[in-house]
Structure 1
Amino acid sequence: MTRNITEQLTPATVDFGKPGKQIGVFHVPLSAHDDAWGVVPVPVAVIGNGEGPTVILEGGNHGDEYEGPIALGEMIRDLRPEDIQGRLIFIPAINQPAVNSALRTSPIDGINMNRTFPGDPLGTTTRQIAAYVNDVLFPMGDVFIDLHSGGSSLDIIPSSVIEPGRTPEQHAANVAAAQAFGAPIAVVIDNRGDPRTATASAALAGMTVIGTEMAGGGTVSIDALALCRRGIRNVLAHVGVLPASAASQVEKASKLYELTALAHVISEDDGVFEPMHRLGTEVVAGELAGRIHFLTQPGRTPVDLQYRASGMVYGRRQPGRVRPGNCCLVVATPYERHDA
């Protein structure tokens, strides 16, 4: 019933069951002050040829993360149906309003799409887009590739991301796909157990799931984009949609890490954050992580922040200005529980 409502309210201009290449949109209704019966046109493309798995590739879940949308746009233009075996469904700028505004959250309803799944076909714009992905696209898919970077607020070591599987078999498939991507590291991230992410919903739908974090800082990283381009093709070759010859040789397996409940260093003050270590530095719980400075109160002593977990500095806040509740640093801990 939910899928029927979603498809009725959110029609697409492509036929997902038709072979060949199609580029179009799906229309999310938007009744605004200047357009009573308008829509948000969300770009979508499908390439199908013969029998094989269906892979759904998502970029632009956050509108200030650019490597994924760029790489997916290139693939949409360059791939021919005869190049693949199976079906590719591309949603390269899924949060279209946020992508157009270069924002993490939608300018229409202020919502972070990656905390809205499974969505609501009768909800706000962001929730309706999430519902379309969850209700219409996910049931078609075997593999989900969700491309992220650190956005405007974080700089993150380029990596593949492992969504914890709901079964040992699914988890092993997720780890294998993340290793096939070919990043130097792969990190198990459960978003503090939040089930409202796209990858968590894709895992619930039974798909093999892989994510990424491709640098950040609100810019396009040359190295991260090159890795993203290679990694997507590596995963598509790994699952059999592209031939093995399309994959780049991975010289050594990704080192495996995880984000534990103690991974994040959080500010409790309003000031400017000074980090003590570069990304990739090995650190120990209790060690000085950084300081919060109070620039307009020169007589006030800076506040020290300590790491809560041991491991590697994986992510760092990009703007120096912080307020209470901001995440300043993220520490990735070596991952041992491969069968969790």
Structure 2
Amino acid sequence: MSRKSTAFVTVDFENPGKQSGFIHIPHSPHEDAWGTTRIPIAVVKNGDGPTAIIQGGNHGDEYEGPIVLGEMARELDPTRVQGRVILLPAINIAAVEAGRRTSPVDGLNMNRTFPGDPAGSITQQTSAFVNDVIFPLGDAFLDLHSGGSSLDILPSGIIEPAPDPEHHKRNAAAVLAFDAPLTVVVDNLGERRTSTAASVAAGLTTVGTEMGGGGTVSLEALKICRRGAQNVLSHLGILERSETQPERTEGRDRPVLTIPGPPGYVFASANGVFEGYHPLGTEVRAGQEAGRVHHLGDPFRPPETLRYGANGILYGRRQPGRVVTGNCCLVVATPYEGELP
């Protein structure tokens, strides 16, 4: 039985040219009896070719994606397009406007709600609309993430594993075409409720990113993100390469890494303030001291020592000093040994 959504859009996905408008999801909180949650969307269509869906703002404290997609919505010339580009610059609009990872409306992390629920809360309805209405229109999906306010991550393209080997190769080829300084295979500890996992389940060629973070806007990550989005559209045949577009290396001579499951994460073992010992990019070893959690309110109590669980490079580092038990403090990435195109 098909899932029925009450959402409606103010663009026509089949019309040629450039359109900008909104996805409206009926929403009736205390302050508004017959209102809607309004999510920006742009569609650029011309000629024949594949459809790429590019999303930003899944987490509202990750800024590079929404900035780059806003630029594309304003500047992308339809005459350069062969196919269709669907832009979702601020898909989790309440979180984007609040600068929060989770929605202030229902407290949910959108990237743990797919495939969503068209009869659920606003976040669940939004992910259901993307899953049920937007994904079936597409051939490829590019989800632009950063580390957010809690993590600083080395800028990288992310390969979402696919169970089918040929699909996995398609994903890897598109991520290598994005041409980030690093490429990392990330399965989110087997989490299947993410947008990229749902995109893979829908059969789309899928590209993820992590573009810095720390709650700031990285100028270098913006450059990588702008260039990478253009590269993926060129890889798909939707855009021809412009004369001003730098030649991509498609990952040649660049490392491909993976997070080796639970040993790749260092979690806080107590409440306190985290002191990390190493900058991003440092080569580390399993068992090596990674940092300490200090008990500032009990200065006579020795700090808790944290250790790495895997060999590799330090890929992600917690940004706020204050931690509670279970917070992710550090992430280690190791060389990927799987097959690539």
Tell me the equivalent position of 2:260: 260
| Alignment of structure 1 residues 99-138 onto 2, 5 Å | 99-138=96-135
Contact persistence 1:238–1:244 (CA under 8 A): no
Aligned AA (1:265): V
Deviation, 1:260, is 1.6
CA distance in 1, matches of 2:46, 2:264: 43
- 1:297 & 1:250 partners in 2: Cα distance? 53
Alignment root-mean-square deviation, CA: 1.2
1:294 is matched by which residue type in structure 2?
H
Distance 1:339 1:280 in 2: 23
Q: Which amino acid aligns with 1:105?
A: T
Q: Helix, strand or coil for the counterpart of 1:225? A: helix
Q: Is the 8 A contact 1:2 1:135 kept in 2?
A: no
How far off is 1:250 after superposition?
2.5
2:56 is equivalent to residue 55 of structure 1: no
Q: Give the Å deviation of 1:166.
A: 2.5
Match of 1:188 in 2: 185
- Structure 2's unaligned 5+ residue stretches are none
Contact 1:234/1:248 (CA < 8 Å) preserved in 2?
no
Q: CA deviation at 1:296?
A: 1.8
Tell me how far 1:302 sits from its aligned partner: 1.0
Of 245, 248, 253, the residue aligned with 2:246 is 248
> CA shift at 1:339, angstroms?
5.3
Task: Flag structure 1 segments of 5+ consecutive residues without an equivalent.
Answer: none
SS in 2 for 1:89: strand
2:10 is equivalent to residue 13 of structure 1: yes
Q: Secondary structure at the match of 1:210?
A: strand
CA distance in 2, matches of 1:277, 1:186: 21
Instruction: Indicate yes or no: 2:141 matched with 1:140.
Output: no
Deviations along 1:56-84, one digit per CA (max 9) or x if unpaired, are 00000000000000001101111121011
What corresponds to 2:339 in structure 1?
338
Write the mapping of 1:24-63 to structure 2, written as runs, cut at 5 A. 24-63=21-60
Residue number in structure 1 paired with 2:154? 157
Match of 1:285 in 2: 286
Amino acid at match of 2:116: G
The residue number in structure 1 matching 2:315 is: 314
CA contact (8 A) 1:166 1:204 kept: no
Q: 1:202 aligns with which of 194, 199, 203?
A: 199
C-alpha separation in 2, matches of 1:99 and 1:2: 30
> 1: distance between equivalents of 2:247 and 2:307?
39
Residue 225 (1) aligns with residue 226 (2):
no
Tell me the TM-score normalised to structure 2 length.
0.97
CA contact (8 A) 1:168 1:339 kept: no
Structure 2 SS opposite 1:245: coil
1:219-251 CA-to-partner distances (Å, cap 9, x unmatched) read 100100111001100111011011033642124
Tell me by how many angstroms 1:26 deviates.
0.8
Who is 1:328 aligned against?
Answer: 329
Tell me which amino acid in the other structure corresponds to 1:260.
P
Is residue 23 from structure 1 mapped to residue 24 from structure 2 by the alignment? no
TM-score with structure 1 length normalisation?
A: 0.97
The answer to whether the Cα contact below 8 Å between 2:269 and 2:304 also exists between their aligned partners in 1 is no
Q: Is the 8 A contact 1:162 1:189 kept in 2?
A: yes
Q: C-alpha separation between the residues in 2 aligned to 1:260 and 1:38?
A: 46
Q: Does the CA-based 8 Å contact 1:47-1:87 persist in structure 2?
A: yes
Instruction: Look up the equivalent residue of 1:317 and give its one-letter code.
Output: R
Question: Number of matched residues?
Answer: 337
Q: Tell me, yes or no, if the aligned pair for 2:144 and 2:208 is still in contact at 8 Å.
A: yes
C-alpha separation between the residues in 2 aligned to 1:17 and 1:73?
Answer: 21
Amino acid across the alignment from 2:260:
T
Q: Separation in 2 of the partners of 1:154 and 1:334?
A: 21
Residue 77 of structure 2 corresponds to residue 80 of structure 1: yes
Taking the aligned partners of 2:31 and 2:274, their CA distance within structure 1 comes to 42
